[in-house]
Chains A and B, each alone.
Chain A
Amino acid sequence: MKKKASLLIITLTGVAILTGVCSGIETYSPLKLIRIFSKPYDYQFESTILFQIRIPRVWCAFLVGSGLSLSGLILQAILKNPLAESYILGISGGASIGIAAGIILGQMASIPVFAFAGSILSILVLLLAASIRKLSAGTLILIGIMLNFIFSSFSLLVITLLQKERFMEAVIWFMGNLSSYQSDVLKIAPLFLLPAYAVTWLFWKQLNIFSMGEEKSVALGLDPEKKKYIWFVITGLITGYCVSLAGLVGFVGLVIPHAVRILVGADHKKTIPSTILVGGSFLILADTLARTIVQPIEIPVGVISGFFGGIIFVFLLLKTARKQKW
């Protein structure tokens, strides 16, 4: 059973990467792919598309999908709530303020930086609220949701006042898309995200214990007070980076950890690597669909991931509702 699940996940990842690399306006068969790879000089045009466009884009989709899913998984453990996700906790609102600020200031090239700063800002506001008073996980989630509303309404107000072209630009960021990532941001991404993934996996035991609730955590020898903040910062950094690559791709962080738990169980030793792979693969597939479904137009990936993610989620819930608690 367990071997089956890991085999399934690895196969899924392979299939997703292959599909993502092969399909596009020019679709290549896997056989042709091998030919291009082995003799890149005979296929100048194709290899340019592959190495300059497709592969970076698939890699970007993988990083964003895995990052958002992993931060969802972490927050669900820390807050002991399967509905927690970095976007629900106000991070998307914070990022949208950053994006709006970048657009107003006309700094289109530095929007990633603004988005990142906005995400970090909202995490800091949340932490500040949490440090003033000792708050329960439930209250923290509610505050996050409210922060999200406040930030989002503000940034929506701002962008409605913008000129038309800029308005569209803002909307595309808010919907989440992988077509306008900046290659410099993508180049640094692995240096930033992969260590964060590694640290998370290294400390999988803490997430198991956190997910038992605060009282039980103390009783099992893990004082959650300070460590909770460290985990918040890690998720804030991961999410902020993903937002700066792709804007607000919602929903992945909620759906993927849940699907993974159905596949491999709840133990974070297994869910952490599985979430990274499944989350990455899901967004590769969603993005492939987004850029091929109505050629030559590209649909923002956030629309696809929200639509299919939602359907898959409801389906999973109905199928497992009897066995699981919620």
Chain B
Amino acid sequence: MVILEFKNVSAAYGKEEILHNISFQMKKGNFVGVIGPNGSGKSTLLKTAVKILRHSKGQVLFKNTDTGKISARDFAKSVSFLPSDIEIAYPYTVKELLLMARYPFSSDFRNPSKRDIEIIVSISKQMELTPFFDRTIFQMSEGEKQRVLLAQCLVQEPELIVLDEPTSHLDIGFQFAFLDLLKTLQKTSDLSILAALHDLNLASQYCENILLLKNGSVIKFGEVQDVIKFEIIEDVYHTNVLVYPHPVSGKPYVFGIPESWKNLTEK
């Protein structure tokens, strides 16, 4: 089943068009990585997917329904979004942040229901956040904070979760922990994941499909092995690379070769 589909989508900020004629289909339960150089339109594509940015041409379909026809509240019941570099201005506690994500499920005035509380408790347990429940977000490390924000997304019980560079401020240990967690959720709760990732190797190890963007157009969309190839990566990123299978996973792994090493490689 197709969970998200872009049909000839173009999107613009003001008059400047950022995305040009984007088309792809994402299957339910898949982990799709969006990669591409800086300024290639990754964030814009994600924002278009979650209705933050209205596209100027084409159609964005969520489970075969035009997203323009779904209300913000209903959309939030199925899709959650984690923006990049989200700054929280006020000292909310973990509990308060998680409760916020139940907003689309009840009216403005209602207190949290029994079910709201159950979901929050079970997700904090799963994410090992229970000990932090009453701590404020200002008292947490970057890695913990990112886990809270992911938990907030999961409290919406989404079918599709969209993440913009979720691991960019994390060290390698937290990166793996974060993506492992997503991978587990993908399998256990049939979650579909669309994530912009800066790190090609993380994308290659964790995603089933890769969408490669350059200057707002799709260069390639397909299985990891068909996209992470040295000739494609070299062409898009204007740098020399070697691509070898990862010794454990067998997935393609990109080794960069900076220009300044040229005399080394010639020897």
Contacts and interface: CB of A to CB of B under 8 A. Distances in A.
A265 B136 contact: yes
B261 interface: no
Given A209-B100, A212-B100, A266-B96, A219 B80 contact: yes
B77 interface: yes
B77 A216 contact: no
**Leading 9 A-B pairs by shortest Cβ distance:** A221-B76, A221-B104, A266-B90, A219-B81, A221-B73, A223-B72, A215-B83, A266-B92, A267-B96
Given A219-B80, A266-B91, A323-B139, 13 more contacts: A76-B89, A202-B108, A205-B100, A208-B96, A216-B86, A218-B51, A218-B52, A218-B81, A219-B50, A220-B103, A221-B103, A223-B72, A267-B93
A266 B91 CA distance: 5
Contacts of B52: 214-215, 218-219
A212 to B, nearest CB: 7
6 contacts: A77-B90, A206-B108, A208-B92, A220-B103, A221-B72, A324-B138
A81 interface: yes
A324 B90 CA distance: 8
B47 interface: yes
A213 interface: yes
B80 to A, nearest CB: 6
B104 A213 contact: no
Contact of A261 (B73, B79, B91, B100): B91
Contacts of B24: none
Interface residues of A, number: 30
Contacts of B82: 219
A216 B72 CA distance: 12
Contacts of A202: 108-109
Contacts of A209: 100, 103
A80 interface: yes
B90 A82 contact: yes
B90 A205 contact: no
Given A202-B109, A203-B108, A223-B72, A265 B83 contact: no
Contacts of B81: 215-216, 218-219
Contacts of A203: 108-109
Interface string A184-209: 00000000000000000011011011
